[in-house]
């Protein structure tokens, strides 16, 4: 099929100019001055909606950092950071076990186990500048989630002290949210309140109302 002059090919998208304003600054430096690949290498994320990558267990975790895909030490460390260090012990061939039923001899995991694999995948970047955790433990019980985020909170503070790193946690469980140094309450795409848990409780606003409602359900 020939393309008419002046018209876009249906399988190509137009080249867009970079935004002029507002700018995104990283430690005061315009993000557009960073090499894209170098910047992406310092980002990591774990999400509520995760992919069940039916690969070898080592690969399903390791793809979180392709240069370390075959590095068993790095994969094991990532599993430990995701509190899933014992996961390979329950697999027939450990890290070399085939995951998923789409392959002969493949092992299926529980939803919680799959989520731990996805969380470990996010942990393959061991020194991210920005780590986003968006309800990454939704399939785990509340006790396990709380223990995990206590660990994440400690690691986040150490990373912040060491390199100015930021951990962004999205959660509806206030037992987890209250650990954050800064809480941002969002409703309808707008920021309603910001502050620490203590600050927001003292204001007796939306955060305090929701915290009280959730706390009463556990009594």
Q: Which CATH number fits domain 35-181: 3.40.50.300, 2.60.40.420, 3.40.50.150, 3.10.20.70?
A: 3.40.50.300
Following DSSP, what letter does each residue of 13-45 receive, concatenated?
Answer: ----PPP-SSPPEETTEEGGGS-HHHHHTTEEE
Given a cut of 80, whether residue 88 has pLDDT beyond it is yes
Domain chopping of the chain, boundaries: 35-181
- Please give the DSSP secondary-structure letter assigned to residue 157: H
Predicted confidence band at 117 (pLDDT cuts at 50, 70, 90)?
A: very high
Contact 186, 192 (CB under 8 A): yes
The strand pair at 130-134 and 43-47 is best described as parallel
Predicted confidence band at 78 (pLDDT cuts at 50, 70, 90)?
A: very high
Alpha-carbon distance of 71 to 30, in angstroms, equals 34
For residue 14, what are its two tokens? 């137009």
Q: Record the pTM.
A: 0.76
Please, how many CA atoms are within 13 Å of residue 135, restricted to the half-sphere of its CB? 8
Contact 12, 4 (CB under 8 A): no
């Amino acid at each position: 099929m020939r393309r008419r002059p002046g018209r876009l090919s249906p399988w190509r998208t137009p080249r867009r100019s970079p935004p002029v304003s507002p700018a995104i600054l990283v430690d005061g430096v315009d993000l557009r001055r960073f090499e894209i690949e170098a910047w992406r290498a310092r980002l990591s994320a774990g999400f509520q909606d995760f992919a069940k990558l039916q690969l070898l267990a080592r690969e399903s975790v390791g793809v979180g950092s392709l240069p370390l895909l075959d590095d068993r030490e790095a994969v094991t460390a990532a599993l430990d950071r995701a509190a899933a260090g014992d996961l390979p012990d329950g697999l027939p061939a450990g890290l070399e076990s085939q995951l998923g039923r789409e392959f002969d001899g493949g092992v299926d995991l529980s939803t919680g186990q799959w989520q731990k694999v996805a969380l470990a995948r996010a942990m393959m970047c061991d020194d991210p500048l920005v780590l986003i955790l968006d309800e990454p433990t939704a399939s785990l019980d509340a006790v396990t989630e709380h223990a995990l985020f206590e660990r994440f909170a400690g690691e986040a503070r150490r990373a912040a002290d060491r390199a100015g790193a930021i951990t962004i946690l999205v959660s509806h469980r206030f037992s987890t949210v209250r650990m954050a140094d800064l809480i941002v309450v969002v409703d309808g795409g707008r920021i309603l309140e910001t502050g620490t848990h203590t600050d927001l409780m003292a204001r007796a606003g939306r955060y305090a109302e929701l915290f009280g409602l959730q706390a009463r359900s556990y009594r």
